[in-house]
Amino acid sequence: MSEENPPEAPSEETAAAPERTEAAKPGPGLLEIRDLMVVFDGFTAINGVDLTVGEGELRFLIGPNGAGKTTLIDVITGLTKPTSGTVRFAGASLAGRKEHQIVRLGIGRTFQTSVVFEELSVLENIDLAASFRRPLASLLRRRKGVTDEVASALETIGLRDLADRPAGILSHGQRQWLEIGMLIAQGPKLLLLDEPVAGMSKDERERTGELLTEIARDHTVIVIEHDMEFLRRYASTVTVLHEGSVLVEGDVAAVQADPRVQEVYLGRKKEEAA
């Protein structure tokens, strides 16, 4: 992977524009992955993935267990180093960047395990997450009140009434929303969400779908999700991974109707379906 890009986050202007050499190509994505390979001790987890996600997209990533979804997210966020291939974000190569540098570039993710501090209030959790991007000097100064990004994140996730309650009292769904709020407060351009509706009630799923739709108005969002009903309701473009490669990509209806998807993802082999 090339190292021609500056080590620090690009400015707003350069972040919005594709890199010079690629500017001539039509419709470059905010995230561009090319010919990505990840090999773990001889096992190929990602096998030649090309993926382009445009600004403002709400993209769903699906695939059976072991398809490589989490590995792909791990590569984008710098947790896993690719064996070969390129990942570019807002025109900048992510090669060789550390996880915290990638967060500062504007990529945030949720994990399957919770990162919420139960004893801190909902507001304090968001404030703490937001402080990640603040300069140290401003952290050392005692701040009064709530910053705009924290207030806005709290409003977006709909937990304003619980702002001063400890996060430990939240329901499973509310906790997931808090984690999303903590991400938004960091001001990312791209959010990567790993199974955000897992374990949620029907009402919570619905609220999460609305929340993701709202967030996608001013962010790009990639969601790993298994729940087909949720996909049918909220997905526009779906990318299906299988055995480390992109099997199919398209709108939700086309993906669902694709016999290859039915075979590998839904587990409905043709003979069983007959």
Ligand X SMILES: Nc1ncnc2c1ncn2[C@@H]1O[C@H](COP(=O)(O)OP(=O)(O)OP(=O)(O)O)[C@@H](O)[C@H]1O
Chain residues in the site for ligand X (CB under 6 A): 40, 43, 45, 63, 65-71
Distance CA 135, CA 124 (A): 18
Q: Closest separation between CB of residue 21 and ligand X, Å? A: 31
As measured in angstroms, the least distance from the Cβ of 40 to ligand X is: 3
Q: Which is nearer to ligand X, 185 or 255 (CB)?
A: 255
In the complex, what is the shortest distance from the CB of residue 71 to ligand X, in angstroms, rounded to a whole number? 3
Using the minimum distance from each CB to ligand X, give the nearer residue, 43 or 113: 43
Closest approach of Cβ 224 to ligand X, in Å? 7
Task: Write the burial class of residue 274 (CB in 10 Å: 0-12 exposed, 13-18 middle, 19+ buried).
Answer: exposed
Q: Which residues contact 228 (CB under 8 A, 6 or more apart)?
A: 256, 266
Nearer Cβ to ligand X (45/129): 45
Q: Are 189 and 30 in contact (CB under 8 A)?
A: yes
Complex with ligand X: residue 2 or 65, whichever CB lies closer: 65
Residue linked to tokens 């055995």? 243
- Asked if residues 245 and 49 have their Cβ atoms less than 8 Å apart, the reply is yes
Q: What does 24-41 look like in DSSP terms, one character per residue?
A: TSSS--SEEEEEEEEEET
Tokens of 271: 């003979």
* Alpha carbon separation from 205 to 67, 97, 254 (Å, rounded): 24, 34, 23
Minimum gap (Å) between residue 80 Cβ and ligand X = 7
The residue (of 81 and 143) whose beta carbon lies closer to ligand X is 81
CB of 226: closest distance to ligand X in angstroms?
Answer: 7
The token duo for 11 is 């400015």
Query: Nearest 5°: phi and psi at 49?
Result: -80, 130
Residue closer to ligand X (CB basis): 122 or 191: 191
